[in-house]
Amino acid sequence: MATEAQAPAITSPSNPRIVEARKLKQRKYRQTSARFLVEGLQLLHMALDGHATPLAAFYCAEQFAGAEAPALLERFRRAGATLSSVSAHVMETLSEREEPQGIVATFRIPEATLASLKLSGHELVIVLDRLQDPGNLGTLIRTADAVGAAAILLIEPCVDPFDPKTVRGSMGSLFNLPVISAADVGGLFAWLKARGFRPVGADPHLGVRWGEGLWRDGVALVLGNEARGLSGDVAAHIEAWARLPIVGKAESLNVAVAGGVLMYAWLRENPVLASEQQR
């Protein structure tokens, strides 16, 4: 186990380890290093609970409040993470919180693929068509986790699921279900259909209100880009459409809100299946 708990605290933001960790706030460095940054005591606990692989933990003991942070640091120690003490000033450069909680950690980006998914063909999977807002993606991941969805599939180019804003928005659910990127639209839908999943698209004007009658057996709920909706190459693979009524003057619904409502419509029709998935 690598540990630097007894080493002098890092006091310079120019320290190479600190510089490399701060670079992980940028997508290109996350992709090249296959690492991402997480902060917040609850998120860090959930990352470890979800069997994410910790690489390094930076901590500032003077910012600890109560017993939770020391206990969390011990979890990182037992998990084999490299521990580095840092000054309060250095922690402020690593953290994006107004009041840092004293621990920021790096994790390995999981190598999830379609081939790694173990699906029966009766679950709900969420397909997101080129989303661009990290907050929307984080909220959709959190809701998908809440209803017991089996996976999130991202059609590229898409916002990075390991963007710090996405990680925070998911409230830890990023660590509870697989999030997989796909660039081959035709190949993705062929894979889904071969495994019994019916693509159901969300549209404000097309299809069945509330998606009634569409949620039985395997469903791939397909949600579109915030500005453009579903792309033409994606819409060509949709087999059924679900729409939500808009009775006021709003032009449309936020994709995370619409997706959440439709996911719970699925859950309402599949309570037993969702319960079994959570065991």
CA–CA distance, 52 with 170 (Å, rounded to integer): 15
Helix (H), strand (E) counts: the chain = 11, 11
The predicted structure's pLDDT at residue 196: 94
Question: Does position 81 have pLDDT exceeding 70, yes or no?
Answer: yes
> Per DSSP, what are the bridge partners of residue 137?
none
CA–CA distance, 134 with 80 (Å, rounded to integer): 30
Cis peptide before 54, with omega less than 30 degrees from 0? no
Domain ranges of the chain: 16-108, 114-277
Q: In this structure, which amino acid lies at residue 187? A: G
What string of DSSP letters covers 179-224?
EEEE--HHHHHHHHHHTTPEEEEE-SSSSEETTTT--SSSEEEEE-
- DSSP E strands in 15-135: the ranges are 35-39, 54-59, 82-85, 103-108, 124-129
For the domain made up of 16-108, the CATH class stated in words is alpha beta
The owner of tokens 């579109």 is 224
Beta-carbon contacts of 209 under 8 Å, excluding residues fewer than 6 positions away, are 243, 244, 245
- CATH architecture of the domain 114-277 equals 3-Layer(aba) Sandwich (3.40)
CA–CA distance, 153 with 34 (Å, rounded to integer): 19
Mean pLDDT, the chain, whole residue set: 92
CA 13 from chain centre, in angstroms, equals 29
Question: Does position 6 have pLDDT exceeding 80, yes or no?
Answer: no
How does pLDDT run across 151-163, given as a tens digit for each residue? 999 999 999 999 9
Pair 260, 143: CB distance under 8 Å: yes
Pair 125, 151: CB distance under 8 Å: yes
How does pLDDT run across 210-258, given as a tens digit for each residue? 999 999 889 999 999 988 889 999 999 999 999 999 888 888 889 999 9
Task: Map residue 19 onto helix, strand or coil.
Answer: helix
Q: CB 89: neighbour CB atoms within 10 A? A: 12
CA–CA distance, 274 with 122 (Å, rounded to integer): 10
CA–CA distance, 96 with 165 (Å, rounded to integer): 10
Burial class (CB in 10 A: 0-12, 13-18, 19+), 187: exposed
What mean pLDDT is predicted for residues 169-197?
Answer: 96
How does pLDDT run across 98-149, given as a tens digit for each residue? 899 999 999 999 988 999 999 999 999 999 999 999 999 999 999 999 999 9
